[in-house]
Homo-oligomer: A and B are copies of this chain.
């Protein structure tokens, strides 16, 4: 049995606002991260405002570890990736969040302890802190780039979860959305075409074949379920009934 994989720790250096620690904790919990480490927080700690923003993830704040220096905080980790704003002069590999998540997961898979390091709100990471990181992560943005700490943690957490997420890119709920069988579809085609014949919809008759083909293609393309096929057949029955009723009125 493989030992359970340990997700990366989120390490916040010199955070100025307790709110941002709380928002980070909430973001973490959404994406399965639980290990929070603070380096020399500049906000009071524990922080009421952090707990206010954590909403449901106070357990992560309770368990947060505090260290006075980056060297002590980072000591247990085998792979540390540091987030920076664009354009920092670092002679390190710069990863996208997606590539970083894959690297973190590959390391965690081998039993390594991993961490993502975030700098303070204003100045970011200092050069001493950066020197302890293996590589750098930069979040791609438009020209306007103004992500706060909680948002940066959110995006990294999201990519971490995505890096192992097996949700298919596109799906329908299998329990409620069984696609219609060919049997049901052919039943619909024949029912509809019979009523359209009766209504002399196909005109001129020479074009009937091509018109039928178009209508069938249109129906096929909409990816109906059994239930939807039944609904449409009910609509046809209802429309035909109303038409005959109308005709009767006209006739009388």
Could you list which residues of chain A lie within 8 angstroms of chain B, going by C-beta atoms?
A: 26-27, 29-32, 55-57, 89-96, 98-99, 135, 138-142, 144-147, 151, 154-155, 158, 161-162, 165, 167-173, 176-177, 225, 227-228
Identical copies in the complex = 2
- Cross-chain contact A172 with B94 (CB below 8 angstroms): yes
Closest 9 A/B residue pairs (Cβ)? A99-B169, A32-B142, A29-B144, A30-B141, A140-B165, A91-B177, A140-B167, A96-B169, A94-B171
Q: Complex: how many Å from CA A185 to CA B244?
A: 91
Q: Complex: how many Å from CA A158 to CA B138?
A: 13
- Cross-chain contact B91 with A170 (CB below 8 angstroms): no
- Cross-chain contact B172 with A91 (CB below 8 angstroms): yes
Q: Which residue from B30, B93, B141, B154 sits with its C-beta under 8 Å from A31?
A: B141
- Cross-chain contact B93 with A142 (CB below 8 angstroms): no
Q: Which residues of B contact A27 (CB under 8 A)?
A: 151
- Cross-chain contact B91 with A228 (CB below 8 angstroms): yes
- Cross-chain contact A96 with B167 (CB below 8 angstroms): yes
> With A91-B228, A141-B161, A154-B154 given, is the CB distance from A30 to B147 under 8 Å?
yes
> With A140-B162, A141-B161 given, is the CB distance from A173 to B30 under 8 Å?
no
